Chain A
Amino acid sequence: MAKSFLIKRKYLFPLMVLGPLLVWYVLFMYYPTVYSIWASLHLWVADNPAKSTFVGLKNYLDMFTIDPRFKKSLANTFIYVLTKTALVIPIGLVIALLFERLRRGTKVYILAVFLPALCSATAVGILFTYLFQPSFGLFNAVLKTIGLPTQPFLTDAKQAIFCVIATDAWQYMGFTTLIFFTGLMNIPYHFVEAARVDGARAWRTFFSIKLPIMGHTLAFLVVYTVINAFQFFDFVFVMTQSGGGTGGASGGPGYSSSVLSLMVYNEGMLRPNVDKATAVATIILAIVLILTIVQYRILRPKWEY
C-alpha cells in the first residue's frame, strides 16, 4: 500500500510536466501535419471539410501535369537550394580560413560577418529591396560608377529569384563561417604541426589534414543548409511582393520567382485552394524527411581522433 503510493507519487511529477507538453505537440504539430496529408488526398470542401471526397493522388498528378505555377515553383526551389548552397559553403569556408590565419582581432571580424544572421529576414529583405531598386538603388549606382550597364534586378522575371538568393546567401554566410571556424579551431594542433614539420605546404595541409577532419562539419552544414533552403519563405515573400507591379500575391513578376513554400501560402491562404496547398506542403515534408534521414546517416561519426 505504502509502496504503490510512493510509485504513484514518483510518476505524478513527470506526468504533470510531460502531459501538457504532449497535448501541445499533438494539437500544434502532429494533428496539423496529419490533417495536411489527409487534405492533400481529398477534394477539400471549405464549408464542411468532413464532407470532402477522397481523390487519392489526383491533386499531386494535376500539379505535375497541368500546373505551370507548380512546375516553375519546383524548378525555382531547386535553383534556390543549389545556388544558395554553392555560394555559402565555399565562401564561408574561405572566410573561416582567413580568420584562422589571424593572430588577433578575430572576434571583431566574426561579429561583423555574423551580424546579418541575427536580423530578421523581413528587415534584411526590405533593406535589399531598397538596395536593388533600379533607379536610385545602391547596386545600380555602383554599376554605373564602374561603367557597367544598370540592371532591372527584382523587376525582371529572369533576375528576381537570383536577387532573392543573393540576399539570403548574404545573410546566411555568417552562420556557415562561424561553424567552419569552430571546426578549424577544434582540429588538434599537433596534427597540423606534424605536417608542417614534415615540410607540407599550406594547401597540402588543408586538403590532406584539415578538410578530411572537417568532413563531418562540412556534411552537417551542407545538409542543414539544404533543408533550411527548401522550406524558406520570408525572403521570397517580402522581396517579390510588388515585383513587376502584378499586385497581390508574391512571387512576381508574374509567378517567375515563386517557390514551393510561397505556393503553400498563396494557394492555401489567398485563393484559398487548400487541397492543392497541402499537396505542395506534403511534398516539402517528404523532401525534408528524406534529407533528415540522410543527415542522420552521414552524421554518425565513423572514426574518432
Chain B
Amino acid sequence: MSRRRNLEAAGQAVTHLVLVAICLLFVLPFAWMILSSFKPALEIIKIPQTLLPRKWTLINFSTIFQRLQFWRFFLNSLIVCVSVTLIAILSSSLAGFVFTKFKFAGKEVIFIVFLSGLMIPFSIIVIPLYLFISKIGLENTYLGLILPLCVSPFGIFLMRQFMEGIPMDMIEAARIDGASNLWIFTRVMAPLSTAGMGGVGVFTFLWTWNQLWWPLVIISKARMRPLSLAVAALTFQHAKRYDMIVTGATLAVIPVLLVFIFAQRSLIKGMTLTGMKV
C-alpha cells in the first residue's frame, strides 16, 4: 500500500516538473521582454545576450515618454477604451433587460440580428466603414474610433443570459407598485447583475485596448494614435531601434497585466462559461 502511495507521490512530482518547464515556455518570453526594456540600447543588440541587464537603466522609458510622447498615446487609449467600455456595458444591460423582461412580437428575430454580428468578419466591413466614417468627417477623431467599436454583440448575448436568471416576479411586483421601467432598470436589474456587467466591462476593455486594425485604418495623424497602433508604428518607423520597440511592447502589456491581476477570477470564469476569446 505504501508502495502505491510512493508511486503516486513520484507521479505528482514528475507532473509538477513537466508543468514548470511548460509554464517557463510561456512566461520566459515576457520576462525577457520586460527585462530587456531596462537594458541600454547597445546591450539589447549585443551578442551574447543575458537575461538580466548588466547595467540597469530607465533611459528607454524616459525616451519613449518624452521624445516619442507615449503619454499621449496612453491617454488616447484610455479615452477610447473607457468610453467604449461604458457604452457597451450600458447598451448590453439595457438590451438584456428588454430581451428578458418584455414581451413583444419579433423579439427573437431582433436578438438573432444582434447575435449574428458575432460572425461577421471585420475584413468585410473595414473598407466601407472607412469610407463612411471619413465621409462624415470623423477620420482622426476619438468619436470615429469609438463609434464602430462601442456596441458589443457578445456583451448583449452575455447580459441576456445573465438577466434570464432574475425572477420575473420582482419586475411584476415593481410594475404593480407603479414603478417606471427606468426605475426598475436602475434599482432592480442593474444592482442584481453587477457581476455580469463587470464581466462585459473587463472583456470589452481588454478587447478595445488590444484593437489594431480599426485604429490603423481610421487614424493617420500620429498624435491621435492609440497605444496599440503607436507600438505597431514603432516597427515601421524605427525598425532598427529594438530598444524602443521592446519598451513600447512592455508598456502595451503592463495595463493588461494589471487587469489580469485584479480581475483574474471574473476573467477566467467568463472565458470558461462562454468559451470566448478576447
Binding site for B on A (CB under 8 A): 10-11, 13-14, 17-18, 20-22, 24-25, 27-29, 31-33, 35-37, 39, 49, 95, 98-99, 101-103, 105, 109-123, 126-131, 133, 135-136, 138, 141, 170, 172-175, 178-179, 182, 220, 224, 227-228, 230-231, 233-234, 237-238, 241-242, 260-261, 264-265, 268-269, 274, 277-278, 280-282, 284-285, 288-289, 292
A21 with B95, Cβ < 8 A, contacts A175-B271, A281-B127, A284-B121 known: yes
Flag if A118 contacts B26 (CB, 8 Å). no
Interchain CA distance A237-B25 in the complex, whole Å = 24
Nearest-Cβ distance from residue B150 to partner chain A, whole angstroms: 8
Does chain A have a CB within 8 A of B213?
yes
Which of the residues A18, A111, A117, A289 comes within 8 Å of B110, measured between beta carbons?
Answer: A18
Binary contact track B77-110/A, C-beta < 8 Å → 1, others 0: 0000000000000010011011000101000001
Interchain CA distance A277-B122 in the complex, whole Å = 13
**Nearest 5 pairs between A and B by C-beta?**
A120-B210, A32-B125, A32-B128, A35-B128, A112-B23
Flag if A36 contacts B128 (CB, 8 Å). yes
A102 with B236, Cβ < 8 A, contacts A21-B95, A29-B120 known: no
Flag if A28 contacts B125 (CB, 8 Å). yes
Q: Can you list 26 A-B pairs, Cβ within 8 angstroms, ordered by A?
A: A10-B102, A18-B95, A24-B150, A25-B114, A28-B129, A32-B124, A37-B124, A95-B19, A102-B19, A114-B268, A115-B27, A117-B278, A120-B252, A122-B231, A123-B228, A123-B252, A126-B232, A127-B246, A130-B33, A130-B249, A136-B46, A173-B26, A179-B275, A268-B127, A280-B123, A282-B124
Interchain CA distance A260-B259 in the complex, whole Å = 33
Interchain CA distance A269-B242 in the complex, whole Å = 28
A32 with B129, Cβ < 8 A, contacts A127-B249, A234-B213, A284-B124 known: yes
Flag if A95 contacts B22 (CB, 8 Å). yes
Flag if A242 contacts B236 (CB, 8 Å). yes
- Interface size range on B against A: 35 or more
Q: Which of B8-16, B57-65, B66-74, B193-201 contacts A (4 or more CB under 8 A)?
A: B8-16
Interchain CA distance A105-B12 in the complex, whole Å = 11
Chain B 6-46 residues near chain A, CB threshold 8 A: 11-12, 15-16, 18-19, 22-23, 25-27, 29-30, 32-33, 36, 44-46
Cβ–Cβ < 8 Å partners of A136 in chain B: 44-47, 49
Interchain CA distance A174-B26 in the complex, whole Å = 9
Interface centre among A25, A102, A116, A282 (most CB of B within 10 A): A25
Cβ–Cβ < 8 Å partners of B209 in chain A: 120
A118 with B110, Cβ < 8 A, contacts A18-B98, A98-B15, A281-B121 known: no
Interchain CA distance A138-B30 in the complex, whole Å = 12
Interchain CA distance A101-B13 in the complex, whole Å = 11
A131 with B126, Cβ < 8 A, contacts A21-B114, A102-B12, A113-B23 known: no
Binary contact track B206-229/A, C-beta < 8 Å → 1, others 0: 100110110011000000000011
Chain B residue at smallest Cβ distance from A97 = B15
Chain B residue at smallest Cβ distance from A12 = B181
A178 with B236, Cβ < 8 A, contacts A120-B252, A127-B33 known: no
Flag if B119 contacts A133 (CB, 8 Å). no
Interchain CA distance A31-B127 in the complex, whole Å = 11
Interchain CA distance A231-B268 in the complex, whole Å = 24
Binary contact track B233-247/A, C-beta < 8 Å → 1, others 0: 011100100100110
Flag if B253 contacts A119 (CB, 8 Å). yes
Cβ–Cβ < 8 Å partners of A138 in chain B: 29, 32, 49
Cβ–Cβ < 8 Å partners of B268 in chain A: 110, 114, 178
Interchain CA distance A194-B246 in the complex, whole Å = 53
Which of the residues A10, A115, A178, A264 comes within 8 Å of B30, measured between beta carbons?
Answer: A115
Flag if B231 contacts A25 (CB, 8 Å). no
